[in-house]
Amino acid sequence: MTVTVDAATREARAAAARASRVAASRRRRGRRPRRGLRRPGAALLACAALLLPGLVWTASRGWMVREHLTAAAGLVRTLNGQLRGGDLDAAARTLSQLQVHADAARAYADDPLWRGAGHTPGLGDDVRAVSAVSRTVDELANVGLPALLRSIGQVRWERFAPVGGRLPLTPLARIAPDLATADAAFAAGRSRIAAVDRRGLVGPVGAAVAQLGAELATASRDLGTAARAAALIPALAGASGPRTFLLVFQNLAEVRATGGLPGAYAVVEADHGRLRVRHQGSASGLRPFPRPVLPLDPAQQALYSDRFGTYPADVNLTPDFPTAAATLREMYRRRTGRTVDGVLATDPVALSYVLRVQGPVPVPGGPTLTGATAVRTLLSDTYRRVVSPTTQDRYFAAAARATFAALTGRAARPVALVRALGRAAGERRLLVWSADPAEQRRLEETVLGGRLPADDGREPTVGVFLNDGSGAKLGYYLRQRAALDTRPCVAGRREYALRVRLSSLAPAAGLPKAVTGLALAGDPFTLRTNVVVLAPTGGSLVTMRLDGRPVPYGAGSDRGRRAGSLLVDLPPGGSADLEVVVRAGTAVSAFRHVPRLWVTPRVTDWSLSTQSTDACPPGQ
């Protein structure tokens, strides 16, 4: 019994020991997770303790950058008003204040912690965008705007006015370097802001970037034209020796893609600023050629036929002015044996802008030209009043001489004259082409060059160009408007709906043969127009409808752009609606943008509208 009891006791004690060890083990296993939880929590608290000062520092830097940029924006608006008002002393003081805020914003944005935050997920895009804005504002305040202010300070408009047939070249030479410096600073800022991806930015930052980008685009375009003009005009005006130019007056009554049929012309010599008319004539006097005078681009030839290389009146069936100008120069050389250094083109609407400044110009053998009557006199009344084409040409030549003399005489209001010429250039009613390759490259960077852009960059461009198909002067009665609306994306490319309305105000009777001309539409009073639509670079035309019905159209290209052409007949008082769906190329901007419309300059302004749009989302 004793043995048995001792064995049972030992067994019980062993079982109790085992139970105790199991319980202890379970307790240990239960505590480990709690210890494990405490360790990451402590690590996070430690990290937060280390990061919090940096986050607070970065946030404070962001707040101070914002405050200084907001102040800078207000000062820029003030400065703009002072420059427009001609108060240069006040503008200089405002610029000094602007530089203080711009320098401070740049300094805060250059802080190492702020730059480091630019690599933070979710926050980095906004930080980098603010840094780009700060850098741009700082460079404009310290480089671009001071140079612009210096150039404006040197401008005494009376010194720029022609006197006795001579353009003063020295004032332009003086301001050209500062304008070039300002242009470079604005262009660099525009490129930097355009490169900011706005898709992930918070609202206020995205809006600020968009506003600055739009303002820089406008300022850079205008400043670029001024800087290049200041650098080019002395050379074109013969600063280094005599230059000769073919000055062509486009007759808007017979529409062509760049404006109107090349009509009267004058050969102008420029020698150290002195301007003289050496010869006059009309494009019709150059007579057609049996074959193209220059090699034609096969794609352009397929679209326009070879007439733009053989008929002087058709050289500008293409909207690309350098192509038309080089062709007309060669035609003039072959007919006269004289070689000119370049070609200039303008039209009666541009002339009317100038006459509103210069005042009435008497014309021997015909009515006086005024700003209010020049367009009607030159494009309508002369054809209805004068039957003989020879007499018409004589009057147009006399009008050209008289207006040239008025332009090169002393300008009574030089500031207003410069604005009038700027308006004409902005509407592509003042075009310049130079046979000198270096000059031509610079001209093509401005609105004066009339070059159909081969690359749209970030802004898809759609062209609507008109060519007369009546063989008549009915274009005086043509009215037009266009709208470009956005459509959904297809295969990653944005589509646009182009809507064009053409209307005719021509009467149903009473027009002389000089107006109705060849009447190629059948009815002498029906206005026939060939409409050429050019797609964005790398894009395509999808459909074309006329008055709601699908129609076949001629296909081709001009300078790499897909093109479609269609004849539209307008009876007296009639109208037609053309709708074209175009698709942008793959290189379209990744950001919000406004597509552009290029159109043929007309007797009356186009009514134009476009819609801003975002890029196509990935995968759509």
Which DSSP string corresponds to 434-458?
ESSHHHHHHHTTSGGG----S--TT
Between 569 and 162, residue with greater pLDDT:
569
Q: Look up residue 295 and give its DSSP letter.
A: P
Same domain, 258 and 349: yes
Same domain, 65 and 145: yes
Q: What is the pLDDT of residues 262-281, one digit of tens each?
A: 999 999 999 988 889 999 99
Same domain, 487 and 422: no
* Residue pair 581/496 in contact by the 8 Å Cβ criterion: yes
Domain end position, chosen among 206, 236, 266? 236
Residue 45 lies inside a defined structural domain of this protein:
no
Longest dimension (CA), the chain: 156
Same domain, 228 and 247: no
Same domain, 260 and 350: yes
18: three-class secondary structure by DSSP? helix
Tokens 């001071």, residue located: 146
Average pLDDT of the segment spanning 194-219: 72
* Residue pair 570/480 in contact by the 8 Å Cβ criterion: no
Query: How high is the mean pLDDT of the chain?
Result: 82
β-sheet bridge partners, residue 246: 267, 343
Domain end position, chosen among 182, 210, 236? 236
Average pLDDT of the segment spanning 106-131: 67
Domain end position, chosen among 442, 465, 498? 442
Residue 538 phi/psi, 5-degree rounding, is: 80, 0
Same domain, 181 and 226: yes
Residue 42 lies inside a defined structural domain of this protein:
no
Same domain, 261 and 371: yes
Range of the domain at 145: 57-153+170-236
Residue 88 lies inside a defined structural domain of this protein:
yes
Same domain, 430 and 298: yes
Q: Look up residue 381 and give its DSSP letter.
A: I
Residue 414 lies inside a defined structural domain of this protein:
yes
* Global pTM value: 0.80
Residue 588 lies inside a defined structural domain of this protein:
yes
Residue 19 lies inside a defined structural domain of this protein:
no
Q: Look up residue 5 and give its DSSP letter.
A: H
CATH number, position 393: 3.40.630
Same domain, 383 and 426: yes
Same domain, 185 and 321: no
Residue 277 lies inside a defined structural domain of this protein:
yes
Residue 465 lies inside a defined structural domain of this protein:
yes
Q: What is the pLDDT of residues 26-54, one digit of tens each?
A: 444 444 444 443 444 444 333 333 333 43
Same domain, 217 and 276: no
Same domain, 202 and 268: no
Q: What is the pLDDT of residues 295-337, one digit of tens each?
A: 999 999 999 999 999 999 999 999 999 999 999 999 999 999 9
5 pLDDT above the threshold of 50: no
CATH number, position 507: 2.60.40
Instruction: State both tokens at 255.
Output: 């529409």
| pLDDT reported for residue 377 | 95
Q: What is the pLDDT of residues 483-536, one digit of tens each?
A: 999 999 888 888 999 999 999 999 999 999 999 999 999 999 999 999 999 999
Domains: count for the chain: 3
